[in-house]
Amino acid sequence: MNQREAAIRISHLREELDKHNHNYYVLNKPEIDDYTFDQMMAELIGLENEFPEFFDASSPTQRVGSDLNQEFKQVAHKYQMLSLSNTYTEEEVQDFDQRVRKLTDENFEYVCELKFDGISISLTYEDGLLIKAVTRGDGEKGDDVTANVKTIKSIPLRLKGDYPPEFEIRGEILLPFSVFEMLNAEREEIGEQPFANPRNAASGTLKLQNSSVVASRKLDAYLYHVLGDNLPDDGHFELLHHASLWGFKISEHTRKCRNLQEIFDFLREWNVKRKDLPVATDGVVIKINSTRLQKELGFTAKSPRWAIAYKFKAERVSTTLNSVSYQVGRTGAITPVANLEPVLLAGTVVKRATLHNADVIKNLDLHLGDLVFVEKGGEIIPKIISVDLSARHPMSEAVRFIERCPECNSQLIRQDGESAWYCPNETGCPTQLKGKLEHFISRKAMNIDGLGSETIELLFQNNLIHNVADLYELKPGDLINLERLGEKSATRILDSLESSKTVPFERVLFALGIRYVGETVAKKLARELKSIDMIESASLDELMSVDEIGGKIAESIINWFSDDQNKRLIGRLKDRHLNFELKSELKEGQTEKLKGLSIIISGTFEKFSRDDLKAFIELNGGKNVTSISAKTNYLVAGENIGPSKLEKAQKLKIPIISEDELLQLTD
């Protein structure tokens, strides 16, 4: 490669890597896998070494990725939080070992630990109390996410045993596979784009502004690195044992290794066994055990000299794309699915793979009959990674996203800023109608016993139901003579429908299936606006003033209530006496002493968590808000309050009170 060709290739690689860094760290929407990214980075490093005249301080090779978010306060790390160099072969691990041995004459041991695929976090403890939780950020500083981290049950707020007076411990915040699957099912149900993998879901969750939503996501954490002065041991492995005694969740699979063979045995063992773990792993971290020797070896510009990450290659197979089919969700979202020649992948036979949306098809440039490479995203969901263009038949037909609904033939629409195409025929598309019915009867909604998808299909095909209001007009004679239903089944269904009239308002609102109104949004709307009539008459600004409701959700609600068929549906359900307003009975300990007050919580507190204070405000009739406006009545300020919030409160002359003064408001 001559100088001109190198300049062109270097420029291209830098541009691509910058784009993929942004997709990964900022947007949480990676377009390529880690292996492909690392190969591109390795190529760029090689070219920059070969052609040093093209050095650029802003090159992706000169910095680590950054996940900084301006909505959070940035905090400087006491110890740099750099990324590890990656390897993919045992030969590269051997090269690492040789580099280390050239730098020291000492005998040393290694520690091998599973590399969990989540979000790096740094926790600071003083006198046994968690005082600060900060993301990796750009390695020099990170986002203060203390309030959100305090909701993670596997992270101790108060330590036990004989711990140092002050230290830092680092680890990985994760979303278990079981929670990831449930979360994605919920997102798809309300028309939201599913998360690409558990790491993206964990990242998105950790950066939410509402810590109560973070708590509901059931994040987990493993801790793996203790830093500080006056630690009880020199050995990294031994320090982790101490940390487990203090109350931290430490992986039981960490192992000390005396030589390369023991390292290779560990790598081979966990390349297989990792598939049985409840959380995602993408490799093994290999570290020198002695922390004293770690300090002596030091760091390069980007990574430590005493540690390396061995990355597992995601299991990938090739197979033929036979066809693409299209599924219609209950909200009308169209999801393309690749139908594949059956192939064994990670222990299961894969016949289908999600394509998510039209953009994925376009970016892959899919053709029917293509030889495609398939991986399991996050070890769960099969997805097409790439296409073998060299194997493409010259006469193959390109896959083109459909223009009309496969169920009702309506012209599809796509809203600005959205990736999904929708069928707009909400009240006439059979698949959407059945999907709405199945959602309405589900356990988290109306929980109607005796009705399932097969029974809904049976009732629908016999023209007994067309929408959810029709369910409440069913009679015994409509059900008894249907196939697979008898008198006993009919009685159970009708009794359950009658019992569902006591289901609380927030679940009825969720059951209606308004796009983007999931469980959490339905609860917030119900608690804030109290009744279906108030929600229907609310303006865009009034809806957006409700905590966690933005423009997209507010517009969807207004559009739903502007449809005359939906208004008639609500009228029929009201006639059947479903709950369409929040009951006013007070809970135990509940008062209305803060009724009409909008209060914002900011900072960290000595006696109570932010969630405790928010619960106290709600229990006493107050409203928690997340941003300061002229309508805000009080700012409850703790330590480390964001300077912008404080400045805005002072400018608007909003009373700034302490946690004790908040409690005194109800005396």
Q: Which amino acid is at 421?
A: W
Q: Which residue has better confidence, 158 or 316?
A: 158
| Per-residue pLDDT band at 585 (split at 50, 70, 90) | very low
Can you give the pLDDT at residue 185?
75
Can you give the pLDDT at residue 466?
93
Can you give the pLDDT at residue 162?
93
| 207 pLDDT above the threshold of 60 | yes
Can you give the pLDDT at residue 588?
56
Lowest-confidence segment of 188-197, 272-281, 419-428, 598-607 by average pLDDT: 188-197
Task: Check: CB of residue 482 under 8 Å from CB of residue 476.
Answer: no
**What's the CA dihedral at 200, 203, 205, 210 to 10 degrees?**
-150
Distance CA 275, CA 265 (A): 17
| Per-residue pLDDT band at 586 (split at 50, 70, 90) | very low
Mean pLDDT of 205-231: 86
Lowest-confidence segment of 36-45, 94-103, 305-314, 655-664 by average pLDDT: 36-45
Can you give the pLDDT at residue 587?
52
- Percent of the chain topping pLDDT 90: 49
**What is the topology classification, in CATH, of domain 598-664?**
Rossmann fold (3.40.50)
Mean pLDDT of 547-571: 91
Q: Which residue has better confidence, 375 or 555?
A: 555
| 589 pLDDT above the threshold of 90 | no
Distance CA 254, CA 94 (A): 20
Residue from 510, 519, 524, 551 nearest 614 by CA? 524
| 28 pLDDT above the threshold of 80 | no
Alpha carbon of 526 to those of 505, 550, 574: distances in Å? 7, 16, 16
CATH number of the domain located at residue range(s) 316-423 in this protein: 2.40.50.140
Catalytic machinery residues? 115
Can you give the pLDDT at residue 602?
85
Q: Which residue has better confidence, 609 or 519?
A: 519
User: Could you tell me which residues come within 8 angstroms of residue 572 by beta carbon, excluding any fewer than 6 positions away?
Assistant: 469, 472
Distance CA 641, CA 72 (A): 10
| 604 pLDDT above the threshold of 80 | no
Residue 114 φ/ψ, nearest 5 degrees? -65, 140
| 557 pLDDT above the threshold of 50 | yes
Can you give the pLDDT at residue 366?
96
Give the homologous superfamily in CATH for domain 74-183+195-311. DNA ligase/mRNA capping enzyme (3.30.470.30)
Q: H-type helices in 207-316, by residue range?
A: 211-216, 236-246, 260-273, 291-297
Mean pLDDT of 406-414: 95
Q: Which amino acid is at 85?
A: S
Lowest-confidence segment of 20-29, 42-51, 495-504, 609-618 by average pLDDT: 20-29
| 125 pLDDT above the threshold of 90 | yes
- Buried residues in 426-448 as b, exposed as e (16+ CB within 10 A): beebebbbbbbbbbbbbeebbeb
Q: Could you give the 3-state DSSP secondary structure of residue 567?
A: helix
| 410 pLDDT above the threshold of 90 | yes
**In this structure, CATH architecture of domain 3-62:** Orthogonal Bundle (1.10)
Lowest-confidence segment of 189-203, 247-261, 515-529, 550-564 by average pLDDT: 189-203
Mean pLDDT of 166-187: 88
Residue from 321, 327, 356 nearest 339 by CA? 321
Q: Which amino acid is at 168?
A: E
Q: Which residue has better confidence, 540 or 19?
A: 540
Token pair, residue 153, equals 């049950």
pTM (2 decimals)? 0.57
pLDDT mean across residues, the chain:
87
Ranges assigned E (strand) in 329-370: 334-345, 348-354
DSSP string, 414-462: --TT-S--B---TTT-HHHHHHHHHHHHSTTTT--TT--HHHHHHHHHT
Mean pLDDT of 102-124: 94
Strands ordered across the beta sheet of 110-116: 86-87, 307-311, 281-288, 110-116, 255-257
Can you give the pLDDT at residue 249?
94
Can you give the pLDDT at residue 67?
52
Q: Residue 114 — left, alpha, or beta (φ > 0 → left; ψ -120 to 50 → alpha)?
A: beta
| 653 pLDDT above the threshold of 70 | yes
CATH assignment of 430-575, among 1.10.150.20, 3.30.420.40, 1.10.287.610, 3.40.50.300: 1.10.150.20
610 membership: H or E segment, kind and range: helix 610-619
Structural domain spans, the chain? 3-62, 74-183+195-311, 316-423, 430-575, 598-664
Lowest-confidence segment of 211-220, 307-316, 503-512 by average pLDDT: 211-220
- Segment of 318-322, 606-610, 612-616 carrying the highest mean pLDDT: 318-322
| 70 pLDDT above the threshold of 70 | no
Q: Which residue has better confidence, 345 or 434?
A: 434
| 187 pLDDT above the threshold of 80 | no
